[in-house]
């Protein structure tokens, strides 16, 4: 049985606690949060810890805090030569204090405390400095029901950047679409089947081949109409123009 301590009570830390606690072959030893009020809804039968000096022994210590706090927290841990990993997509493994056996256990997924998810849909990107530690982290992911991949720092940072485009930027486009449709008293539910179909399509073909729309068709009449419609939203108009030109560039359509 692998024993684990989670350090951090944000979105990622909270979901990791739930997943580890639900596994028969994992032992959640403690959940560390510096602020006693940080755990909004304590999970049953989890030992909370608010002082690093009170941390117990465990096979793996998972740091799930903001990127800027990872390095400092690893330095403050009152022990050495234990397996300490972080969950960041962007922080280099070497930013962990050298006194530890260092690693990365990056869950490539979007997390919100208010939304449950299955860890079968959470691939873990693993990086370590020792083969034995790799074995531990791969076993940890497997017990959580997750696939895992050996990914080095440079690859992981590229994945994180890609994830920002896929998730964060796309969600902002959803928000803009919601605003534009809401302004005309259109129920956003009408657009949800399109959102789902767009995501489903790239399960079977590449994003390049899946592209449709006025930019791909070089339908300048429709494009110009859209731009006029957005005249009262210059920021959105700029986004529309940049994405339209990007699609044209990708598909070899010359700028008019």
- Summarize pLDDT for 45-68 with one digit per residue, the tens: 889 999 999 999 999 999 999 999
Domain boundary, last residue among 123, 151, 179: 151
pLDDT given for residue 255 in this prediction: 60
More confident site: 41 or 188 = 188
Q: Are residues 87 and 214 in the same domain?
A: no
Residue 71 domain-assigned?
yes
Residue 255 domain-assigned?
no
Is pLDDT of 38 > 70? no
E strands present in the chain? 2-7, 26-32, 48-49, 60-63, 83-86, 101-107, 124-128, 148-150
Enclosing H/E stretch for 75: helix 67-76
Q: What are phi and psi of 176, to 5 degrees?
A: -65, -45
Is pLDDT of 120 > 90? yes
> Mean of the per-residue pLDDT values for the chain?
94
Domain boundary, last residue among 124, 151, 178: 151
pLDDT given for residue 113 in this prediction: 85
What domain range is 185 assigned to? 156-250
Q: How many domains does the chain have?
A: 2
Angle between helical axes of 234-250 and 170-182 (0-180°, round to 10) = 130
Residue 164 domain-assigned?
yes
User: Which 8-state DSSP code applies to residue 14?
Assistant: H
Is pLDDT of 39 > 80? no
Q: Are residues 181 and 227 in the same domain?
A: yes
Please compute the mean of the pLDDT values over residues 128-145 and round it to a whole number.
97
Residue 54 domain-assigned?
yes
Is pLDDT of 256 > 60? no
Domain boundary, last residue among 151, 180, 204: 151
Contact 48, 148 (CB under 8 A): no
- CATH of residue 85's domain is 3.40.50.720
Q: Are residues 12 and 137 in the same domain?
A: yes
Is pLDDT of 123 > 60? yes
Q: Are residues 146 and 69 in the same domain?
A: yes
Is pLDDT of 124 > 60? yes
Q: Are residues 182 and 56 in the same domain?
A: no
Is pLDDT of 115 > 60? yes
- Cβ neighbours, 10 Å, residue 24: 7
Residue 40 domain-assigned?
yes
The tens digit of pLDDT for each residue in 142-182 reads 999 999 999 999 999 999 999 999 999 999 999 999 999 99
List for the chain the helix, strand, coil content (%; round to 5).
50, 15, 40
Q: Are residues 23 and 74 in the same domain?
A: yes
Residue 136 domain-assigned?
yes
């Amino acid at each position: 049985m692998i024993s684990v301590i989670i350090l951090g009570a944000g979105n990622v830390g909270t979901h990791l606690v739930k997943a580890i606690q639900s596994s028969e072959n994992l032992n959640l030893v403690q959940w560390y949060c510096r602020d006693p009020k940080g755990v909004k809804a304590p999970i049953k039968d989890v030992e909370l810890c608010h002082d690093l000096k009170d941390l117990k022994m465990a096979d793996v210590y998972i740091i799930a805090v903001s990127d800027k706090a990872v390095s400092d927290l690893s330095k403050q841990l009152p022990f050495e030569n234990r397996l300490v990993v972080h969950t960041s997509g962007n922080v280099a493994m070497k930013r962990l204090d050298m006194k530890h056996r260092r690693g990365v256990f990056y869950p490539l997924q979007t997390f919100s405390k208010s939304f449950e998810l299955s860890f079968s849909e959470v691939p873990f990107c693993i990086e370590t400095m020792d083969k034995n530690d790799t074995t531990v982290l791969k076993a940890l992911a497997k017990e959580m029901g997750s696939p895992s991949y050996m990914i080095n720092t440079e690859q992981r940072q590229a994945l994180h950047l890609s994830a920002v485009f896929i998730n964060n930027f796309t969600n902002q486009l959803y928000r803009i679409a919601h605003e534009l449709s809401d302004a005309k008293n259109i129920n956003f539910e009408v657009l949800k089947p399109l959102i789902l179909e767009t995501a489903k399509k790239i399960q079977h073909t590449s994003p390049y081949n899946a592209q449709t729309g006025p930019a791909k068709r070089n339908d300048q009449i429709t494009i110009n109409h859209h731009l006029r419609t957005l005249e009262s939203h210059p920021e959105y108009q700029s986004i529309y123009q940049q994405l339209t030109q990007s699609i044209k560039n990708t598909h070899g359509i010359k700028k008019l």
